[in-house]
Amino acid sequence: MRHLVKSISIALRALASVSPRLAGRAAFFLFCRPMGRGAVREHERDLHERAERSVLEVDGNQVVVHRWGRGERPVLMVHGWGGRASRFADTARALLDRGIPVIAFDAPGHGESSGSITHILHFEEIIERLYKDVGAFGGIVAHSFGSLGVFKALRSGVETDRVVSVNGVCDFFHLLDVFAERLGLGAEVERDLRERSERLLASGDDIWDRFSVSHDPDLIRAPILVVQDEDDDVVDPEQARRIVAAFAPRARLVTTEKLGHRRVLHSDRVTSAVVGFLADERGR
């Protein structure tokens, strides 16, 4: 992947020297598209194959929804960029062992769903439609980019008892900053990329504030658990502290080390903390 990113960076900088606008268009094409679909891993396979599946049509895409167990107030799991529902296998198993039903989905361009592009409004729509289908959630667990979609949906009226953000993004503009830095985009190309993003989401230049997790925190009253690995090489750990600060005192932080951005989902300690936090609400 590093070699691919380096090759793309070289190509974009060469294109920008000729036309920053064309380079911006190419960067935007990449910005909206996950790089490949992660396969189901061996330790995820048994749970993945046991799922009851259904399909939602979202913006012309067939979105696959995975369900395990039956009952009211299921826990919804929302993957991050380049992820898929099966990445939550460890946490889902632990919840099912406690009799707590679980729902997850593959966003457009991810997992088993169709399409090649996705964005925050797709995540929001999927979450809202699942909410209309099953009612309030017993909890929502989001990883990385998924946190942005979850909090956007919560501000739009989706109800849940509790929220967990794992290595989550707080500031919407952080996505663009990280993308631009990794590809070495110049100021003109980054500006063009920003403008194209604003047009795609049809919401004006305030999307960078309004789509952030910390926007209008008083609209979300649920307790929040924020899990962050201090060695995350994708999302700056400061993003987690920004979430906690925005929702204090109803948000608390759990930190880990040496797990990185994705392995944190398979940590026994993290699974125990997340399931304990979600199950505690049901016990009460």
Q: How far is it, in rounded angstroms, from Cα 11 to Cα 7? A: 6
Question: pLDDT, tens digit, for every residue of 78-132?
Answer: 999 999 999 999 999 999 999 999 999 999 999 999 999 999 999 999 999 999 9
Which tokens sit at 214? 């910390």
The pLDDT mean for the chain works out to 94
Contact (Cβ atoms closer than 8 angstroms) between residue 256 and residue 230: yes
On whether the CB atoms of residues 220 and 155 are closer than 8 A, the answer is: yes
CB 220 within 8 Å of CB 250: no
Are 152 and 230 in a shared domain? yes
Residue with tokens 């991050």: 80
Region 55-74: mean pLDDT is 96
> For residue 185, is it within any domain?
yes
Tokens of 95: 């919840």
Instruction: Give the pLDDT band of residue 164 (cuts 50, 70, 90).
Output: very high
In a domain, 230, yes or no: yes
Host domain of residue 176: 1-31+172-211
Task: Quote the CA–CA distance of 206 and 200 in Å, as a whole number.
Answer: 13
The two structure tokens encoding residue 51: 């799922």
Whether residue 246 is found in the same domain as residue 263? yes
Higher-confidence residue: 170 or 5?
Answer: 170
Whether residues 140 and 7 fall in one domain? no
pLDDT above 90 (res 39) = yes
Longest Cα–Cα distance in the chain: 63
Q: What was the pLDDT predicted at 203?
A: 66
End residue of a domain, out of 187, 211, 235: 211
Q: How many domains does the chain have?
A: 2
The answer to whether residues 129 and 56 touch, using CB atoms and an 8 Å cutoff, is yes
The verdict on 17 and 157 lying in the same domain is no
Q: Distance (Å, rounded) from C-alpha 25 to C-alpha 282?
A: 48
Rounded CA gap, 265 and 187, in Å?
A: 35
Q: Sheet harboring 75-78: ordered strands across?
A: 52-58, 61-68, 102-105, 75-78, 139-143, 163-166, 224-229, 251-256
Q: Where are the beta strands (DSSP E) in 115-200?
A: 139-143, 163-166
- Does residue 36 sit within a domain? no
Residues 11 and 21 in one domain: yes
Residue 95 lies inside a defined structural domain of this protein: yes
Please say if the pLDDT value at position 250 is more than 80.
yes
The pLDDT tens digits of the residues spanning 199-217 come to 988 766 788 999 999 999 9
Residue whose token pair is 């990883």 = 143
Helix (H) or strand (E) run with residue 100 in it: none
Q: Are residues 100 and 149 both part of a single domain? A: yes
Closest-CA residue to 142 (of 220, 72, 197) = 220
- CATH number for the domain harbouring residue 106: 3.40.50.1820
Task: Note whether 100 and 137 are within 8 A (CB).
Answer: no
Stretch 148-176: mean pLDDT: 97
Residues 153 and 279 in one domain: yes
Band the pLDDT of 283: cuts 50, 70, 90: very low
Average pLDDT, integer, range 51-58 = 98
126 and 10 within one domain: no
Q: Is the pLDDT of residue 284 over 60?
A: no
Query: Across-strand partners of 229?
Result: 256
Q: To which residue do tokens 């296998």 refer?
A: 89
* Together in a domain, 179 and 64: no
For residue 209, the tally of other CB atoms under 10 A from its CB is 13
Q: How far apart are CA 172 and CA 164, in angstroms?
A: 18
Q: How confident is the model at residue 136, as a pLDDT?
A: 97
User: pLDDT band at residue 1, thresholds of 50, 70 and 90?
Assistant: low
